[in-house]
Structure 1
Amino acid sequence: MNKKFDLKGIIFDYGGTIDTNSRHWAEVLWEKYQYFRVPVSKEVFREAYVHGERTLARNPLVKPEHNFLDVLQIKTRIQIDYLVDKGFLDRVEADDKAYASHVADDCYQYVLETLKRTRPVVRELAAHYRLVLVSNFYGNIQTILKDFQLADYFSEVIESSVVGVRKPDPAIYRLGVEAMGFPAGQVLVVGDSFSKDMVPAKAVGCKTAWLKGEGWGNEEIDESLPDIVITDLPELLPYVL
């Protein structure tokens, strides 16, 4: 692929791509809710998940020094508090069984295991290409990259809360291309979200590799749009090396 498209650089999404290798975070969290027998339905959990994401988008609860375990603890506490406030969970039971901390801790371990598979891919690509990260995040992505030994692989990081624009707005990928310093047509965007990564990346003229996996389930998909479709990040290497 690098010969066909004359690639010079690669833009990575972070959440759902590097940390979970194609699984939407709602699905990872739901799996842990089930494992720890949190007594709510998936529909109710999704309400709590959406509430949590909107709360974090409105309120600067995540600080720049927070690592990803901190983020997960904040997220799960918001979710459990919502479920208690709405009457779906009993407060005493939720606290006694420490649902929030158990789910957060197990999700963090899940990421550590996943990174054993995805970090080597990033490392290998960084040896051949300029890499830029473009992420919808909370202002602490640099801390997370350091925590997970990923920081040295990215020459630039474009974070939504810092630049003031969020996916799926193509403008955030335009910033990524500008940071890359190469024409958009020589840049490959790798991401797990069809609507938030593939569509806006194509809109600014980038090549695209869709890490197709366990998504949110509410996207309209056109598999002819991405230049590459993979289901496991290591599958990308033969296309670009």
Structure 2
Amino acid sequence: MSTLKDIKGIIFDYGGTIDTNSRHWAEVLWSKYVAHQVPVDKESFREAYVFGERALAKYPFVQPGHNFYDVLAIKAKLQMEYLALQKKLPMDEALLQSYATKVADSCYEYVLDVLKVTRPVVELLAKRYKLVLVSNFYGNIQTILKDFGLFTYFDDIIESSVVGVRKPDPAIYKMGVDAMGYDAQDVLVVGDSFSKDVVPAKQVGCRVAWLQGEGWGGEVIDESLPDVIMTDLAQLPALL
């Protein structure tokens, strides 16, 4: 694996990287379904999760002023309504809202705990490197970063719903490199998704630190592709 000692700038992914420190959001949500005894099986949940993500990408449920709790509440409500329509949960509005609120509340608390680990890493690296964020998100990433005290650490933000390009299209990482103003080989990309972060970033010519964790499953993995592999974002500063 190559050295990262000579990099000049860092591109961070957000979801699954800064907010969950390597856990895919589907796994985080499912763990809260289990914790709050939402009576559905995992396959039904996966279908609801995919439905919700597609709906959020297609329709403007999330507005620029929504913070992360708002996003979680909207996601959970969409999932519960889908499960009810599929007859996996009772068509009881009060019950569905109760489940959605419990899941959103506990997911938000989870993120606040994770940020105690990941925010200091971003803060430290912002003192040493130019940072750019590249994220598939809903048009409100700036609100979320401000809410979580992260906004000032990034020199630029490339958000899929704003620029009209989504990962895994390598063009979004090319935008990140252009915003950085360095050669791609001098830029390190940090992300949790092998197919959406590692592969397109390498196609653009960046170096990559893969935050390997609890993924969605089904990806073809080539561990020789990333320059370094981590299991915790807190490991990153020592690698640089």
- TM-score normalised per structure 2: 0.97
Corresponding residue for residue 103 of structure 2: 103
- Offset at 1:91? 2.3
- Do structure 1's residue 189 and structure 2's residue 189 form an aligned pair? yes
Deviations 1:22-50 (A, max 9, x none): 00000000000000000000000000000
Q: Deviations over 1:211-235 (max 9, x none)?
A: 0000000110000000000000011
Which residue matches 2:26?
Answer: 26
SS of residue paired to 2:63: coil
Q: Is 1:82 paired with 2:82?
A: yes
Partner of residue 58, structure 1:
58
Q: Match of 1:201?
A: 201
Alpha-carbon distance, 1:92 to partner: 2.4
Rounded Cα–Cα distance in structure 2 between residues aligned with 1:158 and 1:83: 33
Deviates more, 1:18-27 or 1:88-97: 88-97
1:1-241, aligned counterparts within 5 Å? 1-3=3-5, 6-92=6-92, 95=95, 98-240=98-240
User: Deviations along 1:103-145, whole A, 9 cap, x unmatched?
Assistant: 0011000000000000000000000000000000000000000
Distance 1:80 1:199 in 2: 33
CA separation of 1:77/1:186 partners in 2, compared to 1, >3 Å: closer, same or farther? same
- Percent identity between matched residues is 68
Structure 1 gap segments, 5+ residues each: none
Tell me which amino acid in the other structure corresponds to 2:36: F
Q: Distance in 1 between matches of 2:27 and 2:68?
A: 17
For residues 168-220 of structure 1, give each alpha carbon's deviation from its aligned partner in whole angstroms, at most 9, with x where no partner exists.
00000000000000000000000000000000000000000000000000110
Change (3 A) 1:220 1:11: same
Secondary structure, counterpart of 1:210 in structure 2? strand
Residues in 2 aligned to 1:202 and 1:126: alpha-carbon distance in whole angstroms: 23
Task: Work out the CA distance in 2 between the residues paired with 1:97 and 1:162.
Answer: 30
Unaligned 5+ runs, structure 2: none
Deviation, structure 1 residue 2:
3.9
- Residue type of the alignment partner of 1:59: Y
User: Cα distance, 1:95 vs. partner?
Assistant: 1.7
Distance 1:10 1:2, change over 3 A: same
* Runs of 4 or more consecutive aligned structure 1 residues displaced over 3 Å after TM superposition: none
- The offset of 1:94, in angstroms, is 6.1
Residues 77, 96 of structure 2: 8 Å contact kept: no
Is the 1:33–1:103 contact (alpha carbons within 8 Å) kept by the matching residues of 2? yes
SS at match of 2:10: strand
Q: Tell me if structure 1 keeps the 8 A contact 2:208–2:227.
A: yes
- How many correspondences in the alignment? 238
